[in-house]
Structure 1
Amino acid sequence: MAPFPLRPVRRAVPGDGDALGELDRATWSTLHAVQPRPQPPYEPFFDERHRPEDVLVAETDSPGEGPRLAGYIRIVPPTPLACNAHVRQIQGLAVAERARGQGVARALLRASFAEARRQGANRVTLRVLGHNAPARALYAAEGFVVEGVLSGEFFLHGRYVDDVLMGRPLAP
C-alpha cells in the first residue's frame, strides 16, 4: 500500500484523547514499555499530568477518510525547577503500524525540537530502553547522544534491561 501524505504536525486538542489512547494501546510493546499491557477499563490519555498542550500529533491524509492519526510525541519540562527550565524531555513517542517507515517519527521529533525552542529550551532529553535498537538508532540519527546508562534498571520478562539516557542541544 502506498504511503499517504503526512499533514503538518499540530498540537493535540482534548478531542484527540480517545484516538491517542487507542494508538497507545495498539503500539504497546515490550520493546519500549515498562508498564504492563493496558487492560480495560482504560485510563484516559489526558489527565492533570498529561495535557493536550504537551502533545504534538501527526496525521496522514487518507483519500475518502480525511486526516488519520499517524503518531504523537509528548514533550514536557522534566521538572518544575526554574534552574531546569531550559530543558524539555520527550516522554512518549508512538507511530501507528500503518504509518511506520514513512518518516512520521522523524517529523514528530523535528516538530518537538521546534516547539521546545519556541518554549525557550536549548536542550532535549529522553530515556529509552537499552534493547530498543530501532529507537536508539533513530534518536542518534537526529543528533541525540548517550549521556548515561542505568545498568539493569528494569527487570522485564525475565531479564535486566538498561535505561539509556540521551540528550541533544537545540541550535537557535
Structure 2
Amino acid sequence: MTENRVTVRRAVESDDAVLLAIDSFAWDASSGFPSFGAADHDTFFTEARGPDAHLVAEIDGNVVGYLRLENKYPFEEGAGVLAINGVAVTASARGQGVGSALLDAATAEGKRRGARKLTLNVHSTNLGARRLYERHGYVIEGTHPQEFLIEGNYIDKLSLAKFL
C-alpha cells in the first residue's frame, strides 16, 4: 500500500482553471446532468460560489479534486446545516483516497463552523459515491423517486446526511 499523499486546502482564485477542467470531465450521466456541463462556462468560480465555498485536494502539489461546502439555508433557523453541493475527483486520482480526504476535511470544517449536520444529494445510480458516503457515516434521509430523466432513464435522487 502506498503512503497517503493527499492533502486538502481551501481553494484560491488561481485554482479556477484547473477546477473548471476537473468539473468538465468528472461528471457523467450516473453522477451529473449531461445538459448542464461545465464546458458551457468559462470560469469555475461565480460570485455566489467563490473560492471560500471550496476545499481542494492535491496529490504531490497537483490539484486532483474539490468539494463544495455551503450553508444549506439562508435563514437563521437553518443555521448549523451545511450542504455538500459537489464532489469531483479526476479519473487518474480515483481510488487514491481523494474523496475520503475531502469528506474528512468537510467534517472537520463543519465542526470548526459549529455545524450540527452535513447533507448531500446523490443519484441512486452513482454506486461508488454512495459507498464512499456510507463509509463516512452518511445515511439516507430521503428518496425522491424518478426525480430526473437522464438519457431516457428515470433516476432517483437520494438525500443523505451525517450528524456531527
TM range (shorter): over 0.9
Structure 1 position 89 matched with structure 2 position 50: no
> Identical aligned pairs, as a percentage?
37
Q: Do the aligned residues in 2 keep the contact of 1:3 with 1:99 (CA within 8 Å)?
A: no
Q: Which has the greater radius of gyration?
A: 1
Residue 22 of structure 1 aligns to a residue in which SS? Answer: helix
**Helix, strand or coil for the counterpart of 1:148?**
strand
- Is 1:139 equivalent to 2:138 in the alignment? no
Q: Is the 2:27–2:33 contact (alpha carbons within 8 Å) kept by the matching residues of 1?
A: no
Alignment root-mean-square deviation, CA: 1.7
CA distance in 1, matches of 2:122, 2:68: 14
* Higher deviation after alignment, 43-52 or 18-27: 43-52
- Asked if residue 112 in structure 1 is aligned to residue 106 in structure 2, the reply is yes
2:92 is matched with which residue? 98
Alignment of 1:6-17 (within 5 A): 6-17=5-16
Q: Which amino acid aligns with 1:68?
A: N
What stretches of structure 1 move > 6 A for 4+ residues in a row?
Answer: none
Paired residue type of 1:91: N
Structure 2: which 5+ runs fail to align?
none
Q: CA deviation at 1:43?
A: 3.6
Alpha carbons of structure 1 residues 47 and 3: separation in structure 2 relative to 1, 3 Å: farther
CA separation of 1:3 and 1:97: change in aligned 2, threshold 3 A: farther
Deviates more, 1:71-80 or 1:43-52: 43-52
Cα-to-partner distance string for 1:16-68 (whole Å, 9 max, x where unaligned): 0111000110212111112426375524110112110110001111xxxxx11
> 1:44 aligns to what?
43
Q: Are 2:124 and 1:130 aligned? A: yes
Q: Distance in 1 between matches of 2:38 and 2:76?
A: 37
Asked if the contact 2:6/2:101 (under 8 Å) is kept, the reply is no
TM-score between both structures, scaled by the size of structure 2: 0.93
The 2-side partners of 1:85 and 1:30 are apart by 32
Alignment of 1:139-158 (within 5 A): 139-158=133-152
